[in-house]
Structure 1
Amino acid sequence: MPQITIDYSGLMEDAFDRAGFARALHEAVVEIAAAKPEACKTQFRPSAFTAFGYEDPGARGHAVAHVTIGLLAGRPDETKARLTQRAVELLREHVAGGAFTLHASAEIRDLDPSYRKADA
């Protein structure tokens, strides 16, 4: 915990500072949600195809990035809102130079009580 996943349009690849984003997001999760730094884990999943509205996907004028943060249950809604707002801000800060409009979003989900982890 936390389990963080970033799904993003592949056309962002060269414009997205993933390492910088992960570090900044981990710092935000520690500060805002009281997580331990060593507990922060992030996976990035580029998408080969993104469709936006009625635009021809070949135009490549839009990119989508969505952050999902899984936390153990019990954090207040205000904490979750602060963290998702910060995640969206960090996306905007760490995606630069792309010839596309970035559509950034984030959400917090409570991990199911069945959640378990193991470090090998």
Structure 2
Amino acid sequence: MPHIDIDYSDRLVGADPGLDVSALVSELHPLVVERVGSVGVGKTFARSSPSYVDGATAPFAHVSVGLLPGRPQSVKNALAEDVLALLDKHLSGVPGVTYSVEVRDLDASYRLHPTH
């Protein structure tokens, strides 16, 4: 039941080379579910936004994966490396792009309705 958030600069979409969000999601979502042995509902959200570094626009992508607590740090570290490699596959041809990954535990306040 991972929650995956993909934030990326709007400059990446439509650029040549650029980011094909649908293609990224189609590989990312099953990768995460498989690596963490998830069961249940998972969600992937993709949001574009302008980005700025010292007043200049800069292309970026960041993936955040929220998991229910309990997985060892080694699993989260390996997942982060796998996601970073996938981002590299999709973005390595884009000049000046930076990309990052965070794999974290969801807060204890997390709730899902309806529960499964």
TM-score (norm 2): 0.83
Picking from 87, 100, 107, the partner of 1:105 is 100
Off by >6 Å, runs of 4+ in structure 1: none
Equivalent positions of 1:53-64 (< 5 A) are: 54=54, 57=56, 60=57, 62-64=58-60
Stretches of structure 1 lacking an aligned partner (at least 5 in a row): none
Distance in 2 between residues matched to 1:97 and 1:106, nearest whole Å: 18
Letter of the 2:12 partner, please give it. M
CA deviation string 1:52-72 (max 9, x = no partner): xx5x61xx5x41111111000
Q: 1:3 maps to which residue? A: 3
Equivalent positions of 1:17-36 (< 5 A) are: 17-36=20-39
Q: What is the RMSD computed on CA atoms of the aligned residues?
A: 1.9
Aligned length: 111
Picking from 40, 59, 64, the partner of 1:68 is 64
Contact 1:9 1:50 in 2 (8 A): no
Per the alignment, in what secondary structure is the counterpart of residue 104 of structure 2?
strand
Stretches of structure 2 lacking an aligned partner (at least 5 in a row): none
Picking from 56, 78, 85, the partner of 2:81 is 85
